[in-house]
Structure 1
């Protein structure tokens, strides 16, 4: 059975998120290694959290549950967890920038 186009757009969007977030994380970490500033290491951690938060959907749906159709409560819980992890990443980046 062929997957619906929404599945493929979900997969492509999450792949792009992984590439962009992974690139920002790696760039921040490489900058930290070059200049040894703690705030750059924090920024790398913040970008990693944001990337992870955005990818929790695909990790849970395809890795853990192995199904892309979720019920309303399950979807709401997953979106809440996504938002909390992304918020934590933004807070870490805010803290890193305030220390710079």
Structure 2
């Protein structure tokens, strides 16, 4: 069964959670970037890039659904692709010497 509508309460909850993810994820990204600037360690630069991909993906996933009125499945797909890339970059950053 495919649902094409979302209750207003659920939309509000999703918007609040995505906003919190943006704030917290942005903070983690900023901290990782500052650590990179302080140490010039390539792995920290990659780590901050990975977190940035995840945060941007969450933002774009919600943006496409809420603002552009695109189907929620497309928003989830966009978000998932960015999270996949972000986690891949984070995993790679942990392997870099």
Report runs of 4+ in structure 1 exceeding 3 Å deviation: none
Q: Is the 8 A contact 2:47 2:90 kept in 1?
A: yes
> Over the residues paired in the alignment, what is the CA RMSD in angstroms?
1.7
Aligned to 1:20: 24
Aligned to 1:60: 64
Give the Cα–Cα distance (whole angstroms) in 2 for the partners of residues 50 and 57 of structure 1. 10
Give the Cα–Cα distance (whole angstroms) in 2 for the partners of residues 8 and 58 of structure 1. 11
Say yes or no: does 1:88 pair with 2:85. Answer: yes
Aligned to 2:50: 46
Normalization by structure 2: what TM-score? 0.83
Q: Which moved more, 1:89-98 or 1:54-63?
A: 54-63
Give the Cα–Cα distance (whole angstroms) in 1 for the partners of residues 80 and 41 of structure 2. 28
Q: How many residues align?
A: 91
CA distances 1:30-82 after superposition (whole Å, capped 9, x unpaired): 0001101111011000000011112222221233x1x4xx5xxx322322221
Q: Which moved more, 1:53-62 or 1:42-51?
A: 53-62
Normalization by structure 1: what TM-score? 0.80
**Structure 2, gaps ≥5 residues long:** 1-6
